[in-house]
Chains A and B, each alone.
Chain A
């Protein structure tokens, strides 16, 4: 089946630093999504990308849909303590019969030191 490689697995940064994480796949996706999950909560959608090459921002977050449609990255600028959590990428294809399946990465655990 499809697999997503998300890296890094974890990051420890100082408040104010910028952060970058990415996901790569051997398969093409038509949609890339980035979620954040706080402890004991469900994932919350941060950014959705629907076109190859698309660059989208949400406050201090910026994500891009790779030109090859096999990768995506998420950047967080000027990190703050509340950015702590697990960030997941998810890719979706529109293959007939499975177009509602999201494939998730294993997540990037972000720790921000004040």
Chain B
């Protein structure tokens, strides 16, 4: 596989469920990102990891918990979500988090919280 992959592509969960989103990048990049995309709103940056270390947490509720075990994998653990958390969750990677880098996106996970 090439590029940035995400699984699952679609997820429906209840508010009491615990689930995880997975992202894998095959580009040899050092930085990975989680974004939330809601209808009619700009992409919202959630978390940034550089060399497996979290360098940005954009005031995201604690019901979202990221994990980066190595530079190729990124997880987003979900628990006790709310219906307003339904959105497309996008993972991205870049060579490094510095200025001038280009981010490459995965296909996203469409999350629906009932």
Contacts and interface: CB of A to CB of B under 8 A. Distances in A.
Contact of A4 (B31, B33, B42, B106): B42
Interface stretch (A12-20, A39-47, A54-62, A67-75): A39-47
Contacts, number: 68
Interface stretch (B11-19, B66-74, B76-84, B92-100): B92-100
A30 B56 CA distance: 20
A3 B45 CA distance: 14
A94 interface: yes
Interface in A25-66: 30-31, 33, 35, 40-45, 48, 50
Contacts of B48: 100
Interface residues of B, number: 31
A48 B51 CA distance: 24
A105 B106 CA distance: 19
A100 B43 contact: no
B114 interface: no
Interface in B3-58: 4, 6, 9, 31, 33, 40-43, 45, 48, 50, 55-56
Interface residues of A, number: 27
B104 A106 contact: no
A4 B43 CA distance: 12
A101 B102 contact: no
Interface of A: 4, 30-31, 33, 35, 40-45, 48, 50, 88, 90, 92-94, 99-107
